[in-house]
Chains A and B, each alone.
Chain A
């Protein structure tokens, strides 16, 4: 405690600027932390320490810390391509030959431009498919608050690393809750942005119409700082919107007097944990005391979002995973080496993909292939896209009367490793509060809001309208400033 690696971005920035600490010292403190505790967490899957220290030295030599991210060490989920840095999506299909991207993702490139320092890669479910990092080829990431429990997923490595102070912030991706759920499980702040707010270029795709780029941080202010640096239109990603990027940190006024905040009754269902329910009810009292008005609202198609997700996502997965055919990149099957010419191309594809993909990826490819096949397309994919419209309309209606909507992040706190083994649907239901925002393409943030009696963290979800990150951050910041949950750290 009290060491440099436990600083927030804004605290570290002040110290760097005042020359109280150097970028090398800050980077080294994160490296030391990773080396001393990560064996028990398994959050970091690639350590790029030498390059990080070289970069830090150069930054210290220049010595100007004008941007709040200059000299700030971070970790990236193992789906962000960094030029010349092994990036594997935690999948055997890329691991065996250690795929080394010849290009840089827009997000890591923008971070590099302002002087942030990449320390390496963190664990994820294979190609981000999962809610626990249990499908990673490197094994599960443990929850820093209780190592018998998962850190969540798919950005579980990111969340555990931030919670354990192995870095100052981490990059994650959120397709169906993969930033918000691990943030809630590990007591971090995690933002899923509006679809199209951040460039997906250079980030390995899972479901292209749903994938979003975001960060996990120790405070809401830090989220605002990172978002301001990475957001905005990118000619390399045609789905990014040409919408101006505000100075998000300037939105953090601390005042939410008169804000109208909706409470959707569909998110408080039978059978959910009483502690989760109570933590959100307690949060509404805090928001009211800050001058916000809490209004009961209804999002009637909420229950259809997860079934909708598990048609659209696997369908897009089956298409995106087709590129892993062992031709342009990836893995050469063991039995193929040396006798390639005798095999047919089709057999080669089978061998590469059979060895390279894990069970969850295979399940999704198969569900997607089935849902998109002739005779089933209208009943599955097209119907899901229509239901998606209804879910989106629900939010459009509600945002006519409220500024934001709040809910729990998950129906319960972090579950035990192996709890959902052999039951994919039980794992999918972990996302039940996190898929509606995905269908609507709106921003949503998880902020710490309490603990269970077993001392496991809980998260409050704050959702905004499309492009409404400022409102979400403003409300989250005011709530965070009025509470102390985000300051609690796991004993490691």
Chain B
């Protein structure tokens, strides 16, 4: 049985870049603890000699020719989806230094 406290949840939310409302701080510890307890069932499986499966295709090292593909969207089109101001093909963000 894994239990997350309100402080645990507050800490995880910070790592996720999320602010939580009072209501969420009230319900998320219970809900997330219930989910973690549910997935704890995996701990009962003996996997000592089992290799992990990260994906199911069996593909490894998929390469393509090292050529510029030019039929994708343009720089201007890609920048146009930003909600922030564009100056000289750059996105002006709030300061990273606070």
Q: How close is A71's CB to chain B, nearest CB, in angstroms?
A: 26
Bound together, the chains give a CA A103 to CA B80 distance in angstroms of: 12
> Are the CB atoms of B83 and A331 closer together than 8 Å?
yes
In the complex the two chains form, what is the Cα distance from A440 to B53 in whole Å?
9
What distance in Å separates the Cβ of A404 from its nearest Cβ neighbour in chain B? 18
In the bound complex, residues from chain B placing their C-beta under 8 Å from that of A357 are 18
Task: Determine if B16 and A365 form an interchain contact, defined as CB atoms under 8 angstroms apart.
Answer: yes
A380 within 8 A of B: yes
Chain B binding surface, main DSSP class: loop
Contact indicator B91/A327 (Cβ below 8 Å): yes
Q: Check B41–A301 contact: CB distance below 8 A.
A: no
Instruction: Specify the chain A residue showing the minimal Cβ separation from B72.
Output: A103
- B42 — which chain A residues lie within 8 A by C-beta? 304, 307-308, 311, 380, 383-384, 387
Q: Do B73 and A103 touch across chains, with their CB atoms under 8 A apart?
A: yes
CA distance A301 to B40 in the complex (A): 15
Q: Which residues of A contact B28 (CB under 8 A)?
A: 362-363, 366
Bound CA span A390–B80, Å:
46
List of B residues within 8 angstroms of A310 by Cβ: 35, 38-39
Task: Give bound CA distance, A424 to B98, whole Å.
Answer: 37
Task: State how many angstroms separate the Cβ of B23 from the closest Cβ of chain A.
Answer: 10
Q: How many residue pairs at the A-B interface have CB separations less than 8 Å?
A: 182
Once the chains are docked, how many angstroms separate the CA of A346 from the CA of B39?
31
CB <8 Å contact, A344 and B24: no
- Whether A385 contacts B54 by the Cβ 8 Å rule is yes
- In the complex, how many angstroms separate the beta carbon of A413 from the nearest chain B beta carbon? 24
Kindly state the interface size class of chain B when it binds its partner.
Answer: 35 or more
For chain A, give the interface size range. Answer: 35 or more
CB distance from B77 to the nearest CB of A (A): 4
Whether B56 pairs with A392 at a CB distance below 8 angstroms is yes
Q: CB distance B24 to A359 under 8 Å?
A: yes
CA distance A448 to B83 in the complex (A): 45
At the interface with chain B, which of A180-188, A235-243, A472-480? A235-243
Complex contacts, B59 vs chain A, CB 8 Å:
196, 238-239, 241
Q: Indicate if the CB atoms of B62 and A102 lie closer than 8 Å.
A: no
Asked if A353 is an interface residue, CB under 8 A from chain B, the answer is: yes
Q: Which residues of A sit under 8 angstroms from B91, Cβ to Cβ? A: 327-328
Which of B32, B57, B95 makes the CB contact (< 8 A) with A344? B95
Q: Is B51 an interface residue (CB 8 A)?
A: yes
The closest CB in chain B to the CB of A337 belongs to B83
Which one of A307, A344, A363 contacts B94 once the chains associate, using CB atoms below 8 Å?
A344
Chain B residues with Cβ under 8 A from A341's Cβ? Answer: 94-95
- B89 proximal to A (CB < 8 A): no
Q: Contact: B84 with A326, CB < 8 Å?
A: yes
Decide: A390 and B95 in contact? CB cutoff 8 A: no
A343 to B92, CA, bound (A): 13
Q: Report the minimal beta-carbon distance from B93 to chain A, rounded to whole angstroms.
A: 6
- Give the chain A neighbours of B94 by CB distance below 8 A: 340-341, 343-345, 347-348
* A434 CA / B27 CA spacing, docked (Å): 28
Contacts A103-B72, A310-B39 known; A346 to B98 CB distance under 8 Å? Answer: yes
Q: Which of A290-340 contact B (CB under 8 A)?
A: 301, 303-304, 307-308, 310-311, 318, 325-332, 340
Assess A369 versus B50: contact at CB under 8 Å? Given A326-B83, A362-B18, A425-B35.
Answer: no
Once the chains are docked, how many angstroms separate the CA of A286 from the CA of B25? 53
Write the nearest CB–CB distance from B74 to chain A, whole angstroms.
Answer: 8
Tell me the A351-387 residues at the B interface (CB within 8 Å): 351, 353-354, 357, 359, 362-363, 365-367, 369-370, 373, 379-380, 382-387
The answer to the question of A350 belonging to the interface, with a C-beta cut-off of 8 Å to chain B, is yes
A sample of 27 cross-chain residue pairs with beta-carbon separation below 8 angstroms, ordered by A number, consists of A97-B83, A102-B74, A195-B55, A195-B56, A195-B57, A209-B54, A238-B62, A307-B38, A307-B39, A308-B42, A310-B35, A318-B16, A328-B81, A329-B82, A340-B94, A344-B95, A345-B96, A353-B16, A353-B17, A359-B24, A362-B18, A366-B12, A373-B15, A380-B42, A392-B56, A422-B31, A441-B57
Shortest 6 CB-CB contacts between residues of A and residues of B: A441-B56, A385-B52, A102-B77, A102-B73, A386-B47, A344-B98
A residues adjacent to B (C-beta < 8 A): 97, 99-103, 195-196, 209, 235, 238-239, 241, 301, 303-304, 307-308, 310-311, 318, 325-332, 340-341, 343-351, 353-354, 357, 359, 362-363, 365-367, 369-370, 373, 379-380, 382-390, 392, 422-425, 428, 439-441, 466
List B residues at the A interface (Cβ < 8 Å): 4, 9, 12-13, 15-20, 24, 27-28, 31-32, 34-36, 38-43, 45, 47, 50-57, 59, 62, 64, 72-74, 77-78, 80-84, 91, 93-98
Q: Add 13 more A-B contacts to A102-B73, A102-B77, A304-B45 (CB < 8 A).
A: A100-B81, A102-B80, A196-B57, A209-B54, A308-B39, A341-B94, A345-B95, A347-B94, A359-B24, A369-B16, A379-B43, A386-B50, A387-B50
